[in-house]
């Protein structure tokens, strides 16, 4: 395809809606109507919105209401820290901690800084207290001074013979929710324009049907990433929360020093929880940086292996990443990548995407079609996803 023609098509048919709508006869570029150029107008690539396509094909589940919710449950925590202005002496038995609720009487606790094992006699979760009373040196390691901010690891309980059941410790599931957003992408043409002879195979209606379908997907992809959850009852309107509105506390800042070592640290953070294979939705500039130091670790997957979309697979010591370039991550978001555990996201559909034809008024001399969707995103267990940002470097190092 001639480069000049390709550039012309991008200008004419980009994702920015034309101000000349409906399409009048004069609104069709004269060069496209009269010059004997290629019979097929270059279409934007079908994989331009791979995240949206993946959600629609693989992770779709219908909801019966515009509002939907879910319950998440994570394992009980087994780590906390000593909270004290000074070190805790070797003889002290009442230890202030950040979270006493993770312990129960008869639990064993490891002071990781010294190796000492503590036996929990009692806990105090009252406001302003948050302490555990312990039996020191409950093992071979002698009691020692516990440093400020030392980590404490719960090892489980140690029950005596013929004991009664220990006090139960129940972690309640927490509720997540989102709302569906209605997306509408109309396109139209005057009847006079539709009868123009074009030097192309496609009719204007067919061309717009394909182009606006891509635009509709891109609109939804942006909402599924950047959207913020909001309900406006007066206007009877709701906006869906995207990935970033749920992954609020799981970020890694590359600090403009992106390199292989830092990317491995990011992978370690991303794969701490969840499945061993995840998606990395990234800008092309970030993927280019990854490619510079990781060529030997990247392989091409088949469509059968990756939800029907051909992707690159990055193999790390922590897990495998399926690399997904996104047109959505550009400009201010061009240094960002989002690691996603596909097992913990769903595309929730209230009204599935439909192409509705001939919605024009009865007396309008032309046609009007539209794509319509009502959908939202379910993001479970936010700690299984992770965002990388400021992934740039002036001098790439390893």
Shortest CA distance to 211 belongs to which of 99, 43, 373?
A: 43
Per-residue pLDDT of the chain (398 residues; tens, 9 = 90+): 444 434 434 443 444 444 555 665 455 444 433 323 223 222 334 455 667 777 776 678 899 888 998 887 665 678 899 998 899 999 999 999 998 988 999 999 999 999 999 999 999 988 778 899 999 999 999 999 999 999 999 998 999 888 888 777 666 677 889 999 999 999 999 988 877 776 555 688 888 888 888 888 889 889 999 999 999 999 999 999 999 999 988 999 998 889 988 999 999 999 998 899 999 999 989 999 998 888 777 876 655 555 666 778 898 889 999 998 888 888 999 999 999 998 999 999 999 888 889 999 999 999 999 999 999 999 998 999 999 999 997 554 44
Cα separation, 238 vs 241, in Å, equals 10
Domain boundaries along the sequence of the chain: 3-70+177-389, 79-157
Which residue(s) pair with 340 in the sheet? 279
For 335, left (φ over 0), alpha (ψ -120 to 50), or beta?
A: alpha
Q: What is the pLDDT of residue 73?
A: 66
Written as six digits, the tokens of 385 are: 């996803």
Cα separation, 142 vs 115, in Å, equals 9
Cα separation, 130 vs 250, in Å, equals 26
Say which CATH architecture domain 79-157 belongs to. Beta Barrel (2.40)
Cα separation, 7 vs 139, in Å, equals 74
Which residue(s) pair with 375 in the sheet? 181, 349
Task: Give the C-alpha distances (Å, rounded to integers) separating 337 from 33, 258, 263, 287.
Answer: 42, 12, 11, 9
Q: Phi and psi for 278 in degrees, rounded to 5?
A: -135, 165
Confidence (pTM): 0.71
């Amino acid at each position: 395809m001639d480069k000049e023609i390709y550039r012309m098509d991008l200008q004419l048919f980009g994702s920015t809606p034309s101000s000349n709508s409906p399409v009048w006869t004069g609104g069709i570029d004269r060069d496209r109507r009269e010059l004997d150029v290629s019979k097929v107008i270059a279409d934007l690539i079908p994989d331009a919105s791979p995240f949206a396509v993946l959600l629609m094909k693989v992770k779709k589940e219908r909801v019966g209401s515009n509002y939907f919710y879910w319950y998440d449950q994570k394992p009980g925590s087994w780590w906390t820290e000593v909270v004290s202005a000074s070190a805790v002496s070797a003889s002290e038995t009442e230890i202030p901690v950040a979270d006493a609720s993770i312990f129960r009487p008869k639990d064993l606790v490891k002071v990781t800084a010294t190796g000492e094992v503590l036996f929990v006699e009692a806990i105090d979760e009252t406001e302003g207290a948050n302490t555990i009373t312990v039996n020191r040196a409950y093992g071979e390691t002698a009691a020692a001074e516990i440093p400020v901010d030392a980590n404490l690891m719960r090892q489980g309980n140690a029950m005596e013979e013929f004991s009664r059941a220990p006090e139960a410790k129940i972690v309640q599931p927490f509720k997540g929710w989102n709302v569906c957003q209605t997306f509408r992408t109309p396109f139209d043409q005057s009847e006079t324009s539709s009868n123009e002879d074009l030097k192309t195979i496609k009719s204007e209606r067919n061309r717009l049907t394909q182009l606006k379908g891509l635009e509709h997907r891109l609109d939804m992809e942006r909402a599924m990433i950047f959207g913020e959850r909001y309900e406006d009852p007066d206007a009877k309107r709701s906006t869906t929360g995207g990935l970033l509105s749920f992954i609020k506390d799981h970020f890694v800042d590359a600090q403009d020093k992106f390199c292989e070592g830092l990317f491995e640290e990011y992978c370690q953070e991303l794969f701490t929880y969840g499945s061993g294979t995840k998606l990395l939705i990234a800008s092309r500039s970030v993927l280019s940086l990854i490619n510079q130091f990781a060529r030997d670790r990247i392989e091409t997957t088949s469509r059968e292996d990756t939800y029907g979309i051909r992707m690159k697979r990055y193999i790390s010591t922590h897990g495998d990443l399926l690399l997904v370039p996104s047109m959505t991550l550009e400009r201010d978001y061009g240094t960002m990548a989002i690691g996603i555990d596909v097992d913990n996201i769903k595309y929730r559909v209230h009204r599935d995407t439909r192409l509705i034809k001939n919605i024009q008024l009865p007396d309008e001399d032309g046609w009007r079609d539209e794509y319509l969707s009502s959908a939202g995103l379910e993001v479970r267990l936010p700690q299984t996803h992770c965002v990388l940002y400021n992934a740039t470097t002036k001098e790439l190092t390893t």
